[in-house]
Structure formats: structure tokens, C-alpha cells
Amino acid sequence: MLEVVRIPVLNDNYVWLLHDGASGETVAVDPAVADPVLEAAAARGWTISQIWNTHWHGDHVGGNAAIKAATGCAITGPAAEAEKIGTLDRTVAEGDRVRIGDHAAVVLEVPAHTAGHIAYHLAQDRILFVGDTLFAMGCGRLFEGTPAQMFANMQRLAALPDDTAVYCAHEYTQSNGRFALTVEPDNAALRSRMAQVDAARARGEPTVPTSIGLERATNIFMRARDVAQLAERRAAKDAA
């Protein structure tokens, strides 16, 4: 069995530790900073053996060098962004596989937030690390890509099994959900979810991971019917 640990850092980032008890391997996914990640691993008696990056932004790769210096870990990231991530040991693209113990993750290219953004899908374990492509009730800003690319990403991810756990990199759920209610105020699943999210945040609790099934029911970007609709919703959310 794989264990996933959430590490809150900076203002609203999450770094994820993925641990395989059988092999003793530990992966840090998108480490924005080093010290809290190293401390969280050490507190559990784990040593980080790998880093998986989804894209080049500093709040996803900022801890790479220091973690590598402390542990000697191998760093994997998107081939299309290798020039922007100077710490990579291995570059990967669509269909490539990375492993933790006996567990394989397939690389999915999901450009739009950045031009070379990737995700890591561990199908056998129903685990998906999406970086800043898919959020709970939201999607990433289109910094380097197009609405058509993000629409394709949403369709592709929506086709995964409903029980796939989605590990995104930011705590944006409450603001995403509030905007979603302005678009789909009659969506009963969305209203119910927002009541739970508001209660969780009032208690200071996180709202991720999410799941593909939950996003299919409540994420207005995943539920957009065409590129134009997604583009309109993304533009309106950016302006909100």
C-alpha cells in the first residue's frame, strides 16, 4: 500500500509525500520549499529518494536543490520544461513511466497552465498528482496555454475512474466553489459540497485531495460542454 502525506507550505500550497512501505521509497511531489518537507519525512523515519515535478513554477520546484543536497534524491520533471528546471536528473513526456517500488505512474501531458505541464497517474492505486491543472472545483490559470488545451485536459481527466484520488497543489476549494455557485446555483451536489467545504475551512481543515467523481459532479470547468464555455468560465473566474 502507498501512503500519501499532505504538507502545507507557503500561503496555500500543498507538497505531497508518497511513501511505499514495501520498498521504503519516498517521493516528494512538487516541493515548493525544502525544510518542512525534509522535516515531515524525517518525523516518519522516511528518506526522500525521488522528487516528481509537474511544472516549472517556483512554488513547485523551489525545494528541489536543497532536498537533493540533503538526500541525494533523483529529480524527475517534464522534458518540455527542462530548460526552466535546472535540477532535473530525468525528463519525461507523454506515456513515460516513473516508479516507486513496484508501483508505476504514467506521465500525462496536460499543457495549459504551463506549456509543458504534466501529471502523474498511478492507475493501479487510483492516485493522480495534477499540480496546477485540476483543482477541487476549479482548474489552473492559462498562463502559457489555450482554452482548447485545458478543455482537452478536463475531458481526459474526467474519463478516469470516479474513485481516482486527485492530489492538487493548492487550497483553492472554497473560492472555486463560491464562484461555481454563481454559474450553477441549482446544482444540488455543488451546494451540498460547499456546505461541507465551508464547515471544514471554518475548522481550519484541508479540503483536498478530491476525486474524479466529485469533480465530475461539481467542477464547472470539467462540466463545460465546449471550449467556448470553458473559456468564458475561466475568464470570468480570473476577473472575479
> Taking the CA atoms of the chain, what radius of gyration do you get in angstroms?
17
- Concerning whether 132 is annotated as a catalytic residue, the answer is yes
DSSP code for 172: -
What residue has cell string 521509497?
25
**Rounded CA separation 7/168 (Å):** 12
Q: Are 193 and 187 in contact (CB under 8 A)?
A: no
Catalytic residue among 103, 113, 117, 121: 113
Residue 117 bears catalytic tag: no
Q: Which of 20, 30, 59, 125 is catalytic?
A: 59
Residue with cell 492516485: 127
DSSP one-letter code for 124: G
- What is the C-alpha to C-alpha distance for residues 78 and 55, in angstroms, rounded to an integer? 7
The residue to which cell 477541487 is assigned: 136
Selecting among 19, 55, 103, 117, the annotated active-site residue is 55
The yes-or-no answer on residue 59 being catalytic is yes
The active-site residue, picked from 19, 20, 57, 117, is: 57
Identify whether 121 is a catalytic site residue.
no
- 123: helix, strand or coil: helix
> Residue 205 contacts by C-beta under 8 Å, 6 or more apart in sequence?
none
How far apart CA 58 and CA 166 sit, in angstroms, is: 21
CA 1 to chain centroid: 20
Of 20, 30, 60, 117, which one is the catalytic site residue? 60
The dihedral through the CA atoms of 127, 101, 48, 56 has a sign that is negative
**Catalytic sites, residue numbers:** 55, 57, 59-60, 113, 132, 170
